[in-house]
Structure 1
Amino acid sequence: MAAALDWKLVVDTRDAPALADFWAAALEYEVEDNSALINRLLEAGQLPAAAVAEHNGTRVFRGFAAIRHPDDPYDKETGIGRGRRILFQDVPEPKSTKNRLHIDVHAGPDSRDATVARLEALGATRVEEVDKGPAGHWWVMRDPEGNEFCAA
C-alpha cells in the first residue's frame, strides 16, 4: 500500500500575513516563521529584496504566509510545516463568489457560543445560524476577507 500524500490547503487572499494571523488565532495554530530561510536566501543572492516584506517585526515572503498545527513536525531551517498546514497567497482578483471549500471549526455543543464570540473578537462575522436538529447546529461565518467557514 502506498503512503498517504502530503498536502496543504491554499487560500487566496488580499493580505496573506494578516489572514494567517487571524486563522492561526482562530485554530490555535502557529504562524510559520520563515525568516531564517529568507535571510539565508537574501545573503546568497537567491532572493530579491522586493520579494520580502516585514510583518509584526519579522521578515516574510511578500504575498505569502502559512500556519501549522503546533504539534506537527516542521523543518527548523526553513520554518515550513510537515503536517496540518494552511498556506495563504495573495492574488490580484477579489473574492467574487461563495467558497467551494471551507473550514469547519468544531468547538463542541457546550462551547459553540463561546467559540463564535471568540472568532468574532478576532474579526470574523456571523452570516447565518443553521439548526438541523439532531444532524447539527452551527454558524456560517466569514473571516476578515469574506471567506465563509462554519463554527459548530
Structure 2
Amino acid sequence: MTARTVQITIDCADPGALSAFWAEALGYHVPGPPGGFATWDEALDAWGVPPERRNDASAVEDPDGAGPRVFFQRVPEPKTVKNRLHIDVRAAPGLQGDDRMAALEAEADRLVGLGAERLQRFEPTPPMDAGHIVLADPEGNEFCLD
C-alpha cells in the first residue's frame, strides 16, 4: 500500500482569521484562487457563493509542499473541551536544554503577539521529554511548541 497524504481539519468560528494565524505560525500560505480566476472573490462570484458564506472555509498550505494542508471549516458550536488531537509545532529542532527552551520561549512570544494564549510550560525531564510549551490558538485550540 502507498503512504497516504493527510489534511488536518479544524472546526472554528472564523476560518479566515484562524487560517491567517496558522499561516504565520507555520510559515505556510493561503493558496491562491483556482486557475482561471484572478481572485477568490471572482471565483466565489462565478460559483454563486453569497457574501455571507464566503468565510465558511479557508486553508493553508506548506509553500514547499512537504507538510500537510490545514483546512478550517466554520461550525456553529463553540469549542467546549480540551482537544483530543493537537498540533505540535517543531520550533526548536536539534536544540537541547537552555538553548531549546529559549528558542521555544521566543516562538511563544511571537505567537502570543499574533493572538495565541500561553497555557503552560513543561521543563525538560531527560531522557523522555526535552521540554515544551502549550499554547492555544485564537479560538482556544491547544497546540504545543516542541
CA distance, structure 2, for counterparts of residue 28 and residue 103 of structure 1: 14
TM-score by length of 2: 0.80
Q: 1:127 aligns with which of 86, 104, 119?
A: 119
- Do residues 97 (structure 1) and 90 (structure 2) align? no
CA distance, structure 1, for counterparts of residue 109 and residue 44 of structure 2: 41
Aligned residues: 132
> Which digits, 9 at most, give the CA deviation of each residue in 1:6-44, with x for residues without a partner?
32000001000100000000011111223638535643x
Q: 1:116 aligns with which of 103, 108, 124?
A: 108
- Counting aligned pairs with the same residue, the percent is 39
What do you get for the CA RMSD once the two structures are aligned? 2.2
Ranges in structure 2 where 5+ consecutive residues have no aligned partner: 93-99
- Do residues 142 (structure 1) and 126 (structure 2) align? no
* Residue aligned with 2:5, SS: coil
Higher strand share: 1
Distance 1:122 1:41, change over 3 A: closer
Runs of 4+ more than 6 Å apart? none
TM-score by length of 1: 0.77
Instruction: Give the aligned partner of residue 21 of structure 1.
Output: 20
CA distance, structure 2, for counterparts of residue 21 and residue 15 of structure 1: 10
**Equivalent pair of 1:32/1:65 in contact (CA under 8 Å):** no
CA distance, structure 1, for counterparts of residue 32 and residue 113 of structure 2: 24
